Structure 1
Amino acid sequence: MDHTNHVRLTNAELTPSVLEDATIYGPDDEKIGWVDHMHGSQVVIDVGGFLGIGAKPVAVSANQLDFMRDEDGDVHAVTRWTKDQLKSMPEHHD
């Protein structure tokens, strides 16, 4: 997916209702997870699993993700982390 024409979200748009279920893309443009929820200034990403089953929740700072909208208005994010790097992070517990 070419992200160059996608519109970056403003800080005011980084809200739970906007970010929930946003797809997360890794450095090779691979789908590596999705936003489960926000926990303060952190975004909890579900990584791995299949259809939400067996996914590992990990928390990262929202400013470590580049959130944007595509041509259809769908919100997604790009990160420098790979799926394996996210899976190696400590599991997030609310």
Structure 2
Amino acid sequence: MDHSSHKPLQAGEIIAANVKGADIYGPDNKVIGNVSEVLGNGQYAKAVIEVGGFFGIGVKQVTLDVSRIAFMRDENGKILAYTKMTKVELKNLPQHRG
């Protein structure tokens, strides 16, 4: 997926109401997870990401600083995200304990 035409979200737009459910694309431009919630606000916020699994079985929740995620809107207004981390790297992060 070409993200060059997507509009980056401003820091104030990165709130749970906007980004919850957003697909996260990895370096190979394939969906590697999605945002299940956002903890905190602004540049120090963390996103809880669901990665792996199939139909909810084997899903792991991990947290990642939003500074490591590029949130953007596509040409249809849908919010999505990109990270340089791979699916394997995300899965190797510690389990989120909510």
| TM-score (norm. length: structure 1) | 0.96
Q: 1:12 is paired with a residue of what secondary structure?
A: helix
**Paired residue type of 1:9:** L
Alignment partner for residue 51 of structure 2, among 28, 44, 47?
A: 47
Give me the whole-angstrom Cα distance separating, in 2, the residues matched to 1:9 and 1:39.
17
Q: 1:46-85, CA deviations, whole angstroms, 9 ceiling, x for partnerless residues?
A: 0001133321000000111000000111101100000000
Unaligned residue ranges in structure 1 (runs of 5+) = none
Q: Give the CA RMSD over aligned residues.
A: 0.8
**Alignment of structure 1 residues 73-84 onto 2, 5 Å:** 73-84=77-88
Q: Percent identity?
A: 44
The aligned residue for residue 36 of structure 2 is: 36
How many residue pairs end up in the alignment?
94
Task: Name the structure 1 match of 2:72.
Answer: 68
Which whole-Å deviations, capped at 9, do the CAs of 1:9-60 have from their partners, x for residues lacking one? 0011001000100000000101100000012210000000113332100000
Counterpart-to-counterpart distance in 2, 1:38 and 1:13:
12
TM-score, reference length from structure 2: 0.92
